[in-house]
Amino acid sequence: MVGKDPLSDVLWADFQKMDLREKARYLNHDGRPFHVLLAQQFDRHMLDELGTLATRIRRTAKSKSGMRFLAELLDHKRAMLTFSQPSTRTFLSFYAACQILGLKIAEVRDTSTSSEMKGESPEDSVRTFSSYFDLLIMRTPKSGFTEKTAYALSNTERPVPIINAGSGKDQHPTQALLDIYTLQRSFERVGGIEGKNIVFVGDLGRGRTVRSLAYLLTHYPGVKQYFVAPRKLQIGQDILDQLDQSGMQYEVCEDFAQVLPEADAIYMTRIQDEWDTEPGESQRIDTSQYHFKAEHLRQIRIHTAIMHPLPRREEIESAVDHDPRAVYWRQVRNGMWIRAALIATIFGREGEIRHYYDMNLE
């Protein structure tokens, strides 16, 4: 890091009162992400740069010599993955991204094996991790915990970056980055993301991936967002307020079949019943019309991207998987490349990757 950590220059009480865009200014250092906690940290220029870098890494990694080059970039750094909520994709794609860049990795996935069982606070646990590692990647069920931790670490003698790998019901910024990268790639030949209709379907009230992506889409002029869900699972007013502030078009509706022909991307989501406040709460909501079936393939456009952050249950029929418009397995792999691009950027290695790419692959 060059210069003073901005988070060490503000009182916690004042930081807590800030809106997300204001907070974001304290998390980036010298125009690059340091702690990665919020989608609000990324402007359009950063999204374009990250996508380009992810593609350079992806193409460089196709050869053994390219893999060797990448694996030396951060082989003097160590990363800690601490996931106290279940994860397959985010955990493994960060794990693989660290391996690509040569970082050495340790993990805690089960807090019953840590000294938290002896009464240590999660805050002290994280401070301990930061004593041994250069990067913390954290998934937690507690909204706001990554912010608290980033603030605490930025006010120690060894401030190490924290990446939010999913926090409570509020944010999943790196999922939104991989979703944007997938949209960039899907719409490469049809004019980019600008002006496209993006349809979100399912549990939009409790799905953190939608909340982060809806914000990032405000950087693309002409995009219209559709939020299609049963009333009890609809998108939060705070997200709609953000879209209003950004002058974005959106529509909130319940009829899935009606919006299908309009869609350039359909972002299906799972019912997040782990957040139920009483037993059986989600089961009492009829979500059967919010499933993408093989018969719907006839109703969508030739370039429509069918997306899902995964894991899925019955909201996309497996018969859809073989259609070229189903891009959810590509999303999974894109997650590894964009996370590698993000880590390389945090540590300021993007210039070396660009130079290697220009010399060897352009």
- Residue 90 as a binder of ligand CP (CB under 6 A): the answer is yes
Omega before residue 309 within 30° of 0, cis: no
Question: Nearest-CA neighbor of 91 among 168, 153, 13, 174?
Answer: 174
Q: Is 202 an interacting residue with respect to ligand CP (CB under 6 A)? A: no
Rule CB under 6 A: say whether 175 interacts with ligand CP: yes
Of residues 90 and 334, the one with the C-beta less far from ligand CP: 90
The minimum distance between CB 90 and ligand CP, in angstroms, equals 3
Kindly give the pairing relationship between strand 162-167 and strand 197-201: unpaired
Q: Whole-angstrom distance between the N-terminal and C-terminal Cα of the chain?
A: 31
Span from 107-115, 141-149, 305-313, 347-355 in contact with ligand CP (CB under 6 A): 305-313
- The answer to the question of residue 309 lying near ligand CP (CB under 6 A) is yes
Report if residue 310 touches ligand CP, rule: CB under 6 A.
yes
Out of 87, 111, 114, 234, the only residue in the binding site for ligand CP (CB under 6 A) is 87
- Count residues contacting ligand CP (CB under 6 A)? 10
Considering only the stretches 25-33, 51-59, 89-97, 184-192, report the one whose residues sit in contact with ligand CP under the rule CB under 6 A: 89-97
The one catalytic residue among 78, 89, 312, 349: 89
The question of whether 231 is a catalytic residue gets the answer no
| 172 part of the active site | yes
Which residues, in sequence order, are CB contacts of 277 under 8 Å at separation 6+?
A: none
**Choice between 310 and 344, CB closer to ligand CP:** 310
Catalytic residue among 139, 206, 219, 296: 139
Residue from the set 32, 59, 78, 89 that interacts with ligand CP by CB under 6 A: 89
- The two tokens of residue 89 are 């994709």
Place of tokens 């409790």: 206
What is the 3 state secondary structure string of 86-154? CCCHHHHHHHHHHHHHCCEEEEECCHHHCHHHHCCCHHHHHHHHHHHCCEEEEEECCCCHHHHHHHHHH
Which of 8, 16, 63, 88 lies at the binding interface for ligand CP (CB under 6 A)?
88
Q: Among 311, 319, 329, 348, which residue sits at the site for ligand CP (rule: CB under 6 A)?
A: 311
Nearer to ligand CP, 66 or 202 (CB): 202
- Asked whether the beta carbons of 282 and 244 are under 8 A apart, the reply is no
Distance CA 326, CA 89 (A): 17
The DSSP call for residue 155 is T
**The tokens of 59 are what?**
């193409």
Distance of CA 37 to the CA centre of its chain: 10
Closest distance of CB 180 from ligand CP, Å:
14
Query: Which DSSP letter does residue 3 get?
Result: S
C-alpha distances out from residue 31 to 6, 26, 41, 337, Å: 12, 11, 10, 21
The reply on whether position 329 binds ligand CP by CB under 6 A is no
Contact 165, 177 (CB under 8 A): no
Q: In this chain, which stretch among 65-73, 82-90, 116-124, 145-153 interacts with ligand CP, using CB under 6 A? A: 82-90
Annotation marks residue 77 as catalytic: no
Three-state secondary-structure class, residue 159: coil
Would residue 89 show up in a list of annotated catalytic residues for this protein?
A: yes
- Beta strand pairing status for 32-33 and 28-29? antiparallel
**For residues 198 and 332, which CB has a smaller minimum distance to ligand CP in the complex?**
332
56, 58, 172, 296: which one is catalytic? 172
Residue 71 has which token pair? 């694996």
The one catalytic residue in 118, 231, 284, 298 is 118
154 binds ligand CP per the rule CB under 6 A:
no
Q: Give the nearest distance from C-beta 92 to ligand CP in angstroms.
A: 8
Q: Which stretch binds ligand CP (CB under 6 A): 87-95, 253-261, 265-273, 346-354?
A: 87-95
Annotated catalytic residues are 89-90, 118, 139, 172
Q: Which residues bind ligand CP (CB under 6 A)?
A: 87-91, 166, 175, 309-311
